[in-house]
Amino acid sequence: MKKAQRPYLLELSLIILAVIVALPIYYLLVTTLKTPEEAAASPLGLPHHWTFGNYAEAWNMMRYPRVFTNNFIITFFSLIGCTLLPCMAAYGFARSRSLIGKLLFVAVIAGLVVPFQIALIPLYKLISTLHLMNTLWAVIIVNISVTIPFNVFLFINFVKSLPLEVEESASIDGSGVIGTFFRIVLPLMQPVVASAAILNSLTFWNDFMGPLLFLQTRDKAVILQEVYRNIGQFSTNWTAFFPMMVLGVAPLLIFYIIMQKYIIKGIAAGSVKG
């Protein structure tokens, strides 16, 4: 038998791609440990004197505990709303046989074709009318509203693939619609719900437009707003700017590492159910 040849060209291409991806990350991390003079003189070189004070300075300039708390509150409650409400809606649409249910589903999915930027002015007027301006709830409500159409579209296909026999057995045992949903359907939806929650958390944590529009005082600011405030008009201190970026991304990176197994489960479930 002829011995299989190793795909050297493919391996070389992957190594080059890995270097290209890792180089900006290396530059980011190395710059956070340099003085401004070292960063300007040797952008890609290792620091001669490791300076960890840049992180302490960034922590104080950003008021990190406060903005981290605001980010966490917005992301946490947005995730609850954008997963629970679409799950319930998708279950209702998937099991509905009425014309009204189909029309409502089309109305919800129509939100996918409307860009968020087009609705900025109506959203601003609506939030102002509801007296929610400069509150975290304004950003949370907008986040939930914007992500509901896509999540409903994602969940309904998964719900349709679930066997009806399980729900019928629960109905025979005396379980109502709400009980069947929370005890049977929702646990079975865990893979796709976890995947959607992880992807949405990336969007909510890194959102800049929503907080910029609806949060007007510094005590309600989020991480990206504080990072933006420390960009100069004519010049930027990169050794102070990059540590802010690392502090902003670090919690999300830790969360992503912890939850990555659920992404794999969701992808596997989607490949089987689809």
Which CATH number goes with the domain that contains 121? 1.10.3720.10
Statement to judge: residues 44 and 142 lie in one domain: no
Q: What is the CA 121 to chain-centroid distance, rounded?
A: 24
In the prediction, which pLDDT does 274 show?
A: 45
Phi, psi values for residue 235, rounded to 5°: -155, 160
Statement to judge: residues 34 and 101 lie in one domain: no
* Residue 31 near residue 238 (C-beta atoms within 8 A): yes
In a domain, 10, yes or no: no
Statement to judge: residues 170 and 259 lie in one domain: yes
Contacts of 216 (CB under 8 A, 6+ apart): 133, 134
In a domain, 2, yes or no: no
**Quick one: angle between helices 190-205 and 64-95, nearest 10?**
140
In a domain, 44, yes or no: yes
In the chain, how many domains are there?
Answer: 2
In the prediction, which pLDDT does 263 show?
A: 66
In the prediction, which pLDDT does 140 show?
A: 94
| HEC string for 174-230 | CCCHHHHHHHHHHHHCHHHHHHHHHHHHHHHHCCCHHHHHHCCCHHHCCHHHHHHHC
Domain boundary among 51, 77, 96: 51
Statement to judge: residues 152 and 204 lie in one domain: yes
How does pLDDT run along the chain (274 residues), one tens digit per residue?
455 566 788 888 999 999 999 998 888 888 888 887 887 778 788 888 787 888 888 888 888 999 999 999 999 999 999 999 999 999 889 888 888 888 998 888 888 888 878 888 888 898 999 899 999 999 999 999 999 999 999 899 888 888 888 788 878 777 788 888 888 888 888 888 888 888 898 889 988 888 988 998 888 999 988 888 877 666 677 777 888 888 888 888 888 787 777 666 655 554 444 4
Domain holding 235, by residue range, is 61-273
* Residue 109 near residue 154 (C-beta atoms within 8 A): no
**What is the percent of the chain where pLDDT is above 90?**
19
In the prediction, which pLDDT does 1 show?
A: 47
Statement to judge: residues 36 and 79 lie in one domain: no
Statement to judge: residues 88 and 115 lie in one domain: yes
In a domain, 141, yes or no: yes
In the prediction, which pLDDT does 66 show?
A: 93
Statement to judge: residues 173 and 37 lie in one domain: no
- Positive or negative, the Cα torsion across 143, 147, 152, 157? negative
Statement to judge: residues 45 and 180 lie in one domain: no
Statement to judge: residues 42 and 152 lie in one domain: no
In the prediction, which pLDDT does 3 show?
A: 54
In a domain, 56, yes or no: no
Statement to judge: residues 261 and 129 lie in one domain: yes
